[in-house]
């Protein structure tokens, strides 16, 4: 067996690769050991996934949807209590408890004194900006390559063919090594609210993430990923997104996740 990213022998690797990080709620879409070698697995976790998971933008969404990290902790949100100008932290637990307290290195006595002196107060929590296109595109590209691997696992010789496919080498290198000259273009848009409740019969549920491979009439392959209702699309075959924009125009801007290709 060879690694999907570096193409080196990975038969002795022990790591299992999550297609979507576990800290985004994925407990089932996992590649078998050796699909991604231990070295690449560690690199991707540190350099490709961590900048996304650490971004306040996604931590806010994880907080709102009660999505914990591997240690079972939901991200906290830092803000300011205006009346005392004290930095505070909003925390949440899996058993549905929410609390606010002074930030670990803040002047807690000043904050408490202000609370006791005033019946009301104001907490301000800055809104996080979406991570930059460079970090996001490497992250979505990583997901796209691993979704392809997931589709090939049960096909005899499928993984070897995927590893050897030259059309994927540019994206493979971009994800694994980055680039100082190129930012792989993407399409990004909100297709439903992060806390949108889907209804099936008498049941309702939220969707944390979903993905699909879109193959257009021009034989272009796009990875389509929705995370907390935000759709990210990237061309697996080359750094251009015009083919997806044409597809959207032809399909009345409907998401491929909810069209005939789903």
Q: Is residue 145 part of a domain?
A: yes
Q: Which residues of 88-103 are buried (b: 16+ CB within 10 A; e: fewer)?
A: bebebeeeeeeeeebb
Can you tell me whether residue 35 is helix, strand or coil? coil
Percent of the chain with pLDDT over 70: 98
| CA 118 remoteness from chain centre | 41
Q: Is residue 112 part of a domain?
A: yes
Query: Looking at the structure, do residues 180 and 160 belong to the same domain, yes or no?
Result: yes
Q: Round to whole Å and give the CA distance between 192 and 238.
A: 28
Domain boundary residue, one of 124, 157, 180: 124
Query: Looking at the structure, do residues 235 and 189 belong to the same domain, yes or no?
Result: yes
Q: Residue 260 pLDDT more than 60?
A: no
Q: Is residue 119 part of a domain?
A: yes
Number of structural domains the chain divides into: 2
pLDDT of residue 141: 98
| CA 49 remoteness from chain centre | 8
Query: Looking at the structure, do residues 109 and 150 belong to the same domain, yes or no?
Result: no
Q: 99 is in which domain, residue-wise?
A: 58-124
| Span 143-149, average pLDDT | 98
Query: Looking at the structure, do residues 72 and 108 belong to the same domain, yes or no?
Result: yes
For 22, 73, 102, 172, the CA distances from 91, given in Å and listed in that order, are 20, 10, 11, 38
Q: pLDDT tens across 193-206, in order? A: 998 988 888 888 88
| Span 218-232, average pLDDT | 97
pLDDT of residue 201: 85
| Span 56-64, average pLDDT | 95
Mean pLDDT for all residues in the chain: 94
């Amino acid at each position: 067996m060879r690694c999907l990213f570096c193409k080196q022998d990975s038969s002795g690797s022990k790591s299992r690769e999550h297609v979507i990080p576990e800290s985004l709620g994925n407990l089932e879409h996992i590649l078998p050991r050796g699909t991604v070698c231990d070295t690449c697995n560690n690199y991707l976790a540190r350099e490709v996934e961590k900048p996304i998971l650490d971004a306040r933008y996604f931590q806010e969404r994880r907080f709102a949807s009660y999505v914990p990290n591997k240690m079972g902790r939901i991200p906290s949100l830092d803000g300011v209590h205006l009346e005392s100008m004290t930095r505070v932290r909003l925390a949440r637990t899996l058993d549905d408890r929410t609390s606010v307290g002074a930030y670990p290195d803040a002047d807690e006595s000043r904050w408490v004194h202000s609370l006791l002196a005033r019946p009301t107060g104001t907490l301000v929590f800055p809104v996080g900006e979406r991570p930059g296109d460079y970090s996001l595109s490497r992250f979505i590209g990583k997901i796209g390559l691993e979704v392809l691997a997931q589709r090939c696992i049960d096909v005899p010789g499928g993984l070897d063919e995927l590893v050897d496919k030259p059309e994927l080498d540019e994206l493979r290198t971009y994800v694994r090594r980055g680039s100082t000259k190129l930012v792989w273009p993407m399409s990004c848009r909100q297709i439903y609210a992060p806390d949108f409740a889907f209804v099936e019969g008498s049941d309702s549920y939220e969707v944390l993430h979903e993905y699909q491979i879109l193959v257009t009439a021009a034989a272009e392959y796009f990875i389509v990923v929705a995370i907390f209702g935000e759709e990210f699309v990237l061309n697996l075959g080359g750094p251009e997104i015009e083919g997806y924009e044409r597809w959207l125009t032809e399909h009345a801007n409907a998401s491929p996740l909810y069209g005939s290709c789903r």
